[in-house]
């Protein structure tokens, strides 16, 4: 069994590539987590996890991460990804991810609403929200990525 993460950060990045996969890889690099092995997790932030601006994680580490991304090969298309974390005093938090064909501002607004709804359905008080979003205007093949990386 893996230990429960004690820290988290929010990252976002976008990039162009010669393929969808290399665009995704470059977006991860732009977000600062391109040299990690991401373990995709669902949307629960461990109780007591502390937000930090940057995590110091050794390359190739298995890193629990909730994320959303979008790739496109439509020149001129605007794509965005956003990550949001809602916190509640003394208990766990909720992570929501979003990607779509919209601006970063629209993605951010969508994430905030998703976080609020997640707390409403759990009947939990929402005491704080952190959001990070990125947008990308596609030139040839682009990717927008946003994630919440968790660490120990």
In a 13 Å sphere around the CA of 102, the CA atoms on its Cβ side amount to: 15
Residue 1: pLDDT over 90 = no
Residue 124: pLDDT over 90 = yes
Domains and CATH numbers, the chain: 7-151 (3.50.20.10)
Residue 87: pLDDT over 90 = yes
* Catalytically annotated residue among 14, 72, 80, 97: 97
* Catalytically annotated residue among 43, 61, 88, 103: 43
Query: Whole-number mean pLDDT of the chain?
Result: 97
Q: In what order do the strands lie in the sheet with 62-72?
A: 37-40, 62-72, 142-151, 7-16, 50-51
- For residue 43, indicate whether it is catalytic: yes
Please list, in sequence order, all residues whose beta carbon lies within 8 angstroms of the beta carbon of residue 74, skipping any fewer than 6 positions away. Answer: 138
Q: What is the pLDDT of residue 90?
A: 85
Prediction pTM value: 0.96
| Token pair belonging to 14 | 């976008």
Q: What is the pLDDT of residue 36?
A: 98
* Catalytically annotated residue among 19, 35, 37, 117: 37
Cα gap 47→34, rounded to integer Å = 27
In a 13 Å sphere around the CA of 68, the CA atoms on its Cβ side amount to: 23
25 and 35 Cβ atoms separated by less than 8 Å: no
Q: What is the pLDDT of residues 5-59, one digit of tens each?
A: 999 999 999 999 999 999 999 999 999 999 999 999 999 999 999 999 999 999 9
Q: What is the pLDDT of residue 27?
A: 99
- For residue 37, indicate whether it is catalytic: yes
94 and 118 Cβ atoms separated by less than 8 Å: yes
- For residue 14, indicate whether it is catalytic: no
- For residue 42, indicate whether it is catalytic: yes
Complete DSSP assignment for 55-69: ----TT-EEEEEEEE
Q: What is the pLDDT of residue 14?
A: 99
């Amino acid at each position: 069994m893996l230990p429960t993460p004690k820290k988290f950060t929010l990252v976002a990045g976008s990039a162009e590539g010669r393929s969808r996969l290399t665009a995704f890889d470059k977006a991860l690099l732009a977000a600062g987590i391109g040299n990690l092995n991401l373990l995709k997790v669902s949307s629960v932030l461990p109780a007591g996890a502390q937000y930090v601006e940057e995590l110091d994680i050794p390359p190739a580490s298995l890193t629990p991460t909730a994320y959303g991304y979008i790739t496109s090969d439509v020149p001129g298309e605007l794509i965005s990804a956003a990550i949001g974390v809602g916190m509640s005093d003394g208990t766990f938090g909720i992570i929501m991810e979003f990607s779509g064909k919209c601006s970063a501002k629209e993605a951010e607004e969508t994430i905030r609403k998703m976080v609020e709804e997640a707390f409403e359905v759990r009947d939990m008080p929402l005491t704080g929200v952190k959001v990070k979003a990125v947008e990308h205007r596609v030139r040839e093949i682009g990717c927008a990525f946003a994630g919440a990386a968790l660490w120990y």
